[in-house]
Amino acid sequence: MDGAAPAPALLEFCLRGTTLELHTTGPAAAAEDAFILQEVLLDRCYFRHGVSLRPGDAVVDVGAHVGAFAAAALASVPGGDVTYLGVEPAPPTFAALTANLLGCGGAASSGGSFFELNPAYGHVAAPPAPGRVSPPYPRNVTLERAALAREAPPGGEAATLVFFPAMPANSTLAGWAAEKAALQGAAMPERFASRALLTAPLRTLGELLAAHGLAGGGGGGVALLKVDCEGAELEVLQGLGGPDAWRSVRQVVAEVHDVLPGEFDAPPGAPPGRAPPAAAPPELRGPRGGGIDGAAVVFVPHPGAPGAPPPREGGRVLAVAALLAGAGMAVVIECPLLIQGLPINYAVFARRPDG
């Protein structure tokens, strides 16, 4: 099922007059990589609605892909004065993430990191300035290959991943493969046709933060938790724990599918991760807007999809919003784009009132 991850491919992207070099999983994923670089790095899509970072903040990135969000986060503070923990389960993607953030040999001294290849981001790897709060680069960057779930499995079983070589950022745990096929397979069937089953260690968000000294308020906690894991966002957040655990988190950003419970479950007995792409777009029926009170939870139009409706009542987006609002955060929801005219992906931004 798993083999040695292939060496990352170094590709050059020319985007809006900006040239960037990036280690990727391979040329097959270049179109997806270009889209993500524009959306996450150039447009800074996760840094909206007041989400920001301060010197010395800790960032946890669940679903780190090849590091576009990491680069945006580190570059957002002078001198890259941020502590970053990136989590990515798929071996090919994790190899590219490591090359981008720590160099081709997994250490900055090996050369070739994103910050060394792209002068506009070179300040992240520059010698530390006086007064720096975080450890100097690269000691402020930690990477872990893992998948996260609501509960840790007994006996430490590994998670099964469905990896899409042409759409690696859309790779997902096997339990959400049917959902992915239904939501986006009809729009891009050729890009989801090729797939491989891989494995990754499985743990909870609470375990992850405790292992890296970020649980509780003693070490300053997590300034920004970003979660984008193609279907598992609610379970990942539920894996942090109760109210006491959430007090250590200041801000959350997440990309969440607008899916109702059981709506796209695989048929009983279906092989893991083998759902074929959908022949037609899903209908996504159901009432919308319940749970958006205009105070703790707000829905706002996005310039990229000004006519998109609010998420559906009883769906995953509003479940994530309710969890974060219950943790004492103010929540903003937006739909940044339509896929075949459908509001599938919603962005959720949550901040503590004093954050």
Give, rounded to a whole angstrom, the gap between the first and last alpha carbons of the chain: 44
What are 266's two structure tokens?
């695989």
pLDDT in tens, 178-237: 888 888 877 888 888 888 999 999 999 999 999 999 986 545 699 999 999 998 999 999
Cβ neighbours, 10 Å, residue 220: 16
- Percent of the residues in the chain that have a pLDDT greater than 90, as a whole number: 69
Number of H helices, E strands in the chain: 10, 15
* Paired residues of 15 in beta bridges: 18
pLDDT in tens, 324-348: 999 999 999 999 988 878 888 999 9
Residue 2 scores a pLDDT above 70: no
DSSP classification of residue 316: H
Q: Give the mean model confidence (pLDDT) for residues 110-133.
A: 90
Instruction: Say which residues have a Cβ less than 8 Å from residue 333's Cβ, sequence separation at least 6.
Output: 292, 297, 298, 299, 300, 310, 311, 317, 321, 346, 347, 348, 349
Three-state secondary structure call for residue 35: helix
Please check whether residue 9 is in contact with residue 24, taking contact to mean a CB–CB distance below 8 angstroms: yes
Confidence label for 109 from pLDDT (cuts 50, 70 and 90): very low
What are 263's two structure tokens?
């709506």
Q: Give the mean model confidence (pLDDT) for residues 271-294.
A: 73
- Single-letter residue type at 323: L
What are 115's two structure tokens?
């910050």
User: Cα(93)–Cα(8) distance, rounded to whole angstroms?
Assistant: 8
Residue 238 scores a pLDDT above 80: yes
Residue 148 scores a pLDDT above 80: yes
The pTM score is 0.94
